[in-house]
Protein backbone atom coordinates (compact mmCIF):
# COMPACT_ATOMS: atom_id res chain seq x y z
CA UNK A 1 0.00 0.00 0.00
CA UNK A 2 1.20 3.52 -0.83
CA UNK A 3 0.02 6.35 1.41
CA UNK A 4 -0.98 9.74 0.03
CA UNK A 5 1.09 12.34 1.92
CA UNK A 6 -0.08 15.43 0.03
CA UNK A 7 -3.00 16.30 -2.21
CA UNK A 8 -3.28 19.64 -3.96
CA UNK A 9 -5.81 20.72 -6.58
CA UNK A 10 -3.95 22.66 -9.27
CA UNK A 11 -7.17 23.51 -11.08
CA UNK A 12 -10.66 22.03 -11.44
CA UNK A 13 -9.41 19.03 -13.41
CA UNK A 14 -5.75 18.58 -12.43
CA UNK A 15 -4.51 17.21 -9.10
CA UNK A 16 -1.07 16.84 -7.54
CA UNK A 17 -0.42 13.92 -5.19
CA UNK A 18 2.70 12.95 -3.29
CA UNK A 19 3.14 9.35 -2.13
CA UNK A 20 5.35 7.63 0.40
CA UNK A 21 7.40 5.48 -2.00
CA UNK A 22 11.07 5.37 -0.89
CA UNK A 23 12.19 2.57 -3.22
CA UNK A 24 10.84 4.39 -6.29
CA UNK A 25 12.21 7.75 -5.12
CA UNK A 26 15.65 6.18 -4.70
CA UNK A 27 15.96 5.37 -8.43
CA UNK A 28 13.58 7.72 -10.26
CA UNK A 29 14.97 10.06 -12.94
CA UNK A 30 13.49 12.70 -15.23
CA UNK A 31 11.40 11.19 -18.01
CA UNK A 32 10.42 8.00 -16.21
CA UNK A 33 6.92 7.00 -15.17
CA UNK A 34 5.00 4.90 -12.66
CA UNK A 35 1.85 2.80 -12.99
CA UNK A 36 -0.79 3.11 -10.27
CA UNK A 37 -3.78 0.97 -9.33
CA UNK A 38 -6.21 2.24 -6.72
CA UNK A 39 -7.53 -1.20 -5.71
CA UNK A 40 -7.58 -4.82 -6.81
CA UNK A 41 -10.31 -4.13 -9.40
CA UNK A 42 -8.71 -0.99 -10.74
CA UNK A 43 -7.06 -0.61 -14.13
CA UNK A 44 -3.33 0.04 -14.49
CA UNK A 45 -2.70 3.70 -15.33
CA UNK A 46 0.72 5.12 -16.31
CA UNK A 47 1.71 8.59 -15.09
CA UNK A 48 5.01 10.41 -15.42
CA UNK A 49 6.98 11.10 -12.25
CA UNK A 50 6.51 14.85 -11.80
CA UNK A 51 8.98 15.10 -8.93
CA UNK A 52 10.74 13.02 -6.29
CA UNK A 53 12.67 13.51 -3.06
CA UNK A 54 15.26 10.84 -2.36
CA UNK A 55 15.82 11.98 1.24
CA UNK A 56 12.14 12.03 2.16
CA UNK A 57 11.38 8.95 0.07
CA UNK A 58 8.50 10.59 -1.77
CA UNK A 59 7.24 10.53 -5.35
CA UNK A 60 4.90 13.13 -6.84
CA UNK A 61 2.46 12.65 -9.71
CA UNK A 62 0.17 15.12 -11.42
CA UNK A 63 -2.91 13.83 -13.19
CA UNK A 64 -5.94 15.06 -15.07
CA UNK A 65 -9.28 13.58 -14.01
CA UNK A 66 -10.47 12.40 -17.42
CA UNK A 67 -11.16 8.67 -17.01
CA UNK A 68 -12.67 6.33 -14.45
CA UNK A 69 -9.44 5.50 -12.64
CA UNK A 70 -8.12 9.06 -12.44
CA UNK A 71 -11.54 10.21 -11.23
CA UNK A 72 -11.40 7.54 -8.52
CA UNK A 73 -7.91 8.62 -7.51
CA UNK A 74 -9.10 12.21 -7.38
CA UNK A 75 -11.70 11.27 -4.76
CA UNK A 76 -9.03 10.02 -2.38
CA UNK A 77 -7.54 12.24 0.33
CA UNK A 78 -4.32 12.66 2.31
CA UNK A 79 -3.85 9.65 4.58
CA UNK A 80 -5.59 7.26 2.17
CA UNK A 81 -3.57 4.56 0.43
CA UNK A 82 -3.65 3.04 -3.03
CA UNK A 83 -2.87 -0.59 -3.73
CA UNK A 84 -0.08 -0.31 -6.31
CA UNK A 85 2.54 2.19 -7.41
CA UNK A 86 5.02 0.46 -9.71
CA UNK A 87 8.21 2.04 -10.99
CA UNK A 88 10.28 3.76 -12.01
CA UNK A 89 9.55 2.51 -15.53
CA UNK A 90 10.78 3.60 -18.93
CA UNK A 91 14.10 5.02 -20.06
CA UNK A 92 15.23 8.26 -18.37
CA UNK A 93 15.51 11.23 -20.70
CA UNK A 94 18.87 11.23 -22.48
CA UNK A 95 19.87 14.83 -23.01
CA UNK A 96 22.29 15.50 -25.89
CA UNK A 97 25.86 16.12 -24.80
CA UNK A 98 27.20 19.64 -24.89
CA UNK A 99 23.85 21.43 -25.01
CA UNK A 100 24.01 25.01 -23.82
CA UNK A 101 20.47 26.27 -24.39
CA UNK A 102 17.27 24.25 -24.51
CA UNK A 103 13.61 25.11 -25.00
CA UNK A 104 11.27 22.96 -22.92
CA UNK A 105 7.70 23.16 -24.19
CA UNK A 106 4.67 21.97 -22.24
CA UNK A 107 1.07 21.93 -23.31
CA UNK A 108 -1.63 21.89 -20.63
CA UNK A 109 -1.18 19.04 -18.19
CA UNK A 110 1.92 18.13 -20.21
CA UNK A 111 3.65 20.84 -18.19
CA UNK A 112 3.67 18.34 -15.32
CA UNK A 113 5.99 16.19 -17.43
CA UNK A 114 7.96 19.09 -18.86
CA UNK A 115 8.74 20.46 -15.39
CA UNK A 116 11.06 17.62 -14.23
CA UNK A 117 12.83 17.73 -17.60
CA UNK A 118 13.47 21.45 -17.23
CA UNK A 119 14.52 21.00 -13.61
CA UNK A 120 17.09 18.33 -14.49
CA UNK A 121 18.60 20.49 -17.24
CA UNK A 122 18.58 23.64 -15.12
CA UNK A 123 20.34 21.85 -12.24
CA UNK A 124 22.94 20.62 -14.73
CA UNK A 125 23.80 24.21 -15.64
CA UNK A 126 21.95 24.37 -18.97
CA UNK A 127 20.25 27.61 -20.01
CA UNK A 128 16.55 26.70 -20.09
CA UNK A 129 13.62 28.54 -21.64
CA UNK A 130 10.16 27.16 -20.90
CA UNK A 131 7.16 27.77 -23.15
CA UNK A 132 3.97 26.69 -21.37
CA UNK A 133 0.71 26.69 -23.29
CA UNK A 134 -2.85 26.53 -21.94
CA UNK A 135 -6.35 27.08 -23.29
CA UNK A 136 -7.08 29.86 -20.80
CA UNK A 137 -5.92 31.48 -17.57
CA UNK A 138 -8.10 29.33 -15.29
CA UNK A 139 -6.20 26.12 -16.08
CA UNK A 140 -2.63 27.42 -15.77
CA UNK A 141 -0.59 25.11 -13.51
CA UNK A 142 2.91 25.00 -11.98
CA UNK A 143 3.79 28.56 -12.97
CA UNK A 144 5.92 29.24 -9.87
CA UNK A 145 7.60 25.84 -10.05
CA UNK A 146 8.51 26.27 -13.72
CA UNK A 147 9.74 29.82 -13.22
CA UNK A 148 12.20 28.56 -10.59
CA UNK A 149 13.93 26.17 -13.03
CA UNK A 150 14.44 28.31 -16.13
CA UNK A 151 15.94 31.54 -17.35
CA UNK A 152 12.80 32.61 -19.22
CA UNK A 153 9.21 31.41 -18.78
CA UNK A 154 6.80 32.22 -21.59
CA UNK A 155 3.13 31.48 -20.89
CA UNK A 156 0.69 31.40 -23.79
CA UNK A 157 -3.07 30.98 -23.81
CA UNK A 158 -5.30 30.16 -26.76
CA UNK A 159 -7.79 32.88 -25.83
CA UNK A 160 -5.30 35.51 -24.62
CA UNK A 161 -6.66 35.61 -21.05
CA UNK A 162 -3.13 35.25 -19.65
CA UNK A 163 0.40 35.66 -20.93
CA UNK A 164 0.67 35.90 -24.70
CA UNK A 165 -2.24 35.05 -26.97
CA UNK A 166 -1.49 32.15 -29.29
CA UNK A 167 -0.01 28.68 -29.33
CA UNK A 168 3.36 27.43 -28.08
CA UNK A 169 4.41 26.97 -31.70
CA UNK A 170 3.83 30.67 -32.38
CA UNK A 171 6.13 31.62 -29.50
CA UNK A 172 8.79 29.09 -30.47
CA UNK A 173 8.82 30.37 -34.06
CA UNK A 174 9.02 33.96 -32.85
CA UNK A 175 12.02 33.19 -30.64
CA UNK A 176 13.81 31.38 -33.48
CA UNK A 177 13.03 34.26 -35.86
CA UNK A 178 14.47 36.66 -33.27
CA UNK A 179 17.80 34.83 -33.44
CA UNK A 180 17.60 32.62 -30.36
CA UNK A 181 19.64 29.47 -30.94
CA UNK A 182 18.46 26.26 -29.31
CA UNK A 183 20.62 23.16 -29.25
CA UNK A 184 17.58 21.04 -28.40
CA UNK A 185 13.83 21.35 -27.96
CA UNK A 186 11.82 19.11 -25.63
CA UNK A 187 8.08 19.05 -26.33
CA UNK A 188 5.50 17.37 -24.10
CA UNK A 189 1.75 17.65 -24.33
CA UNK A 190 -1.15 16.78 -26.64
CA UNK A 191 -0.04 14.78 -29.67
CA UNK A 192 -1.08 17.46 -32.21
CA UNK A 193 0.95 20.04 -30.27
CA UNK A 194 4.07 17.85 -30.33
CA UNK A 195 3.55 17.17 -34.04
CA UNK A 196 3.45 20.89 -34.89
CA UNK A 197 6.41 21.74 -32.63
CA UNK A 198 8.42 19.20 -34.62
CA UNK A 199 7.22 20.83 -37.85
CA UNK A 200 8.65 24.14 -36.60
CA UNK A 201 12.04 22.76 -35.56
CA UNK A 202 12.68 20.37 -38.45
CA UNK A 203 13.65 22.99 -41.08
CA UNK A 204 16.31 24.32 -38.68
CA UNK A 205 17.72 20.89 -37.83
CA UNK A 206 17.02 21.38 -34.11
CA UNK A 207 17.02 18.07 -32.28
CA UNK A 208 13.54 17.63 -30.82
CA UNK A 209 12.63 15.15 -28.09
CA UNK A 210 8.99 14.24 -27.46
CA UNK A 211 7.44 12.18 -24.66
CA UNK A 212 4.73 9.88 -26.05
CA UNK A 213 1.55 8.75 -24.33
CA UNK A 214 0.15 5.76 -26.23
CA UNK A 215 -2.27 3.26 -24.74
CA UNK A 216 -0.33 1.25 -22.17
CA UNK A 217 -1.17 -1.81 -20.07
CA UNK A 218 1.64 -3.73 -18.38
CA UNK A 219 4.50 -1.24 -18.75
CA UNK A 220 7.08 -3.97 -19.40
CA UNK A 221 6.89 -4.41 -23.17
CA UNK A 222 4.97 -7.69 -23.04
CA UNK A 223 1.47 -6.65 -24.17
CA UNK A 224 2.44 -4.54 -27.17
CA UNK A 225 -0.34 -2.04 -26.50
CA UNK A 226 2.01 0.95 -26.44
CA UNK A 227 3.60 0.32 -29.82
CA UNK A 228 4.47 3.39 -31.86
CA UNK A 229 6.15 3.82 -35.23
CA UNK A 230 9.43 5.71 -35.03
CA UNK A 231 11.72 6.01 -38.03
CA UNK A 232 9.59 3.43 -39.82
CA UNK A 233 10.18 0.84 -37.10
CA UNK A 234 7.91 -0.40 -34.32
CA UNK A 235 8.95 0.74 -30.85
CA UNK A 236 7.34 0.20 -27.46
CA UNK A 237 6.95 3.38 -25.43
CA UNK A 238 7.13 1.63 -22.06
CA UNK A 239 10.58 0.11 -22.60
CA UNK A 240 12.06 2.01 -25.56
CA UNK A 241 10.70 5.37 -24.41
CA UNK A 242 8.62 7.25 -23.55
CA UNK A 243 11.04 9.77 -25.12
CA UNK A 244 11.73 9.61 -28.84
CA UNK A 245 13.18 11.71 -31.67
CA UNK A 246 10.15 13.78 -32.62
CA UNK A 247 11.22 14.10 -36.24
CA UNK A 248 10.90 10.33 -36.67
CA UNK A 249 7.56 9.73 -34.92
CA UNK A 250 4.47 8.82 -36.93
CA UNK A 251 2.12 11.17 -35.10
CA UNK A 252 -0.90 10.45 -37.32
CA UNK A 253 -0.80 6.74 -36.49
CA UNK A 254 -0.36 7.56 -32.78
CA UNK A 255 -3.42 9.83 -32.77
CA UNK A 256 -5.48 7.16 -34.50
CA UNK A 257 -4.48 4.48 -31.98
CA UNK A 258 -5.06 6.77 -29.00
CA UNK A 259 -8.68 7.33 -30.08
CA UNK A 260 -9.52 3.61 -30.32
CA UNK A 261 -11.25 3.39 -26.93
CA UNK A 262 -12.70 6.89 -26.73
CA UNK A 263 -16.32 5.73 -26.79
CA UNK A 264 -15.74 3.10 -24.08
CA UNK A 265 -13.88 5.63 -21.93
CA UNK A 266 -16.83 8.00 -22.15
CA UNK A 267 -19.24 5.27 -21.02
CA UNK A 268 -16.95 4.45 -18.08
CA UNK A 269 -16.94 8.09 -16.99
CA UNK A 270 -20.74 8.13 -16.99
CA UNK A 271 -20.99 5.13 -14.63
CA UNK A 272 -21.60 6.92 -11.32
CA UNK A 273 -22.02 5.09 -8.02
CA UNK A 274 -25.33 6.06 -6.38
CA UNK A 275 -23.88 5.49 -2.88
CA UNK A 276 -20.62 7.44 -2.96
CA UNK A 277 -21.30 9.77 -5.86
CA UNK A 278 -18.03 8.66 -7.40
CA UNK A 279 -17.11 6.55 -10.38
CA UNK A 280 -17.69 2.88 -9.63
CA UNK A 281 -15.60 -0.08 -10.75
CA UNK A 282 -17.35 -2.40 -13.17
* Buried b / exposed e along 196-214 (16+ C-beta atoms within 10 A): bbbebbeeeebbbbbbbbb
Phi, psi (deg, nearest 5) at residue 221: 85, 5
- DSSP labels for 227-244? EEEETTEEEEHHHH-SEE
Residue 66 domain-assigned?
Answer: yes
Among 47, 68, 38, 12, smallest CA distance to 266 is for 68
pLDDT in tens, 83-129: 999 889 988 888 888 889 999 999 998 998 899 999 999 999 999 99
Residue 119 domain-assigned?
Answer: no
Residue 191 domain-assigned?
Answer: no
Instruction: Please count the other Cβ atoms lying within 10 Å of the Cβ belonging to residue 22.
Output: 14
Identify the pLDDT of residue 52: 92
Identify the pLDDT of residue 255: 82
Contact 103, 132 (CB under 8 A): no
Domain count, the chain: 1
Q: pTM for the full model?
A: 0.84
CATH number at residue 36: 2.40.30.10
Helix intervals (H) in the chain: 22-27, 68-74, 111-123, 143-147, 168-177, 191-201, 237-240, 251-258, 262-269
> Which structural domain range is residue 6 located in?
2-89
Among 281, 264, 260, smallest CA distance to 272 is for 281
pLDDT in tens, 7-57: 999 988 899 999 999 999 999 988 899 999 888 888 888 888 988 999 999
* Contacts with 262 (C-beta within 8 Å, 6 or more apart), sequence order: none
Q: How far apart are the C-alpha atoms of 235 and 224, rounded to whole Å?
A: 9
Contact 108, 187 (CB under 8 A): no
pLDDT in tens, 177-225: 999 999 999 999 999 999 999 999 999 999 999 998 887 777 777 888 7
Q: How far apart are the C-alpha atoms of 174 and 185, rounded to whole Å?
A: 14
Helix, strand and coil content of the chain, in percent to the nearest 5, comes to 30, 30, 40
Residue 110 domain-assigned?
Answer: no
Residue 16 domain-assigned?
Answer: yes
Residue 185 domain-assigned?
Answer: no
Residue 57 region, left (φ>0) first, then alpha (ψ -120 to 50), else beta? left
Q: How far apart are the C-alpha atoms of 213 and 236, rounded to whole Å?
A: 11
Amino acid sequence: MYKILEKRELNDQVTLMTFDAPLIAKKAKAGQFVIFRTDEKGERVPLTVADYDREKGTVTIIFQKVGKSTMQLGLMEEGDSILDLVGPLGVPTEFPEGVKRVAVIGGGVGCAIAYPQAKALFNAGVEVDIIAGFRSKDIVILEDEMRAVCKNLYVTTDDGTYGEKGFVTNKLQALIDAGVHYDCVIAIGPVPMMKFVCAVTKPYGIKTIVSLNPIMIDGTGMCGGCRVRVGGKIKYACVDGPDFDGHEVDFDELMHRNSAYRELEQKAREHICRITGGVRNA
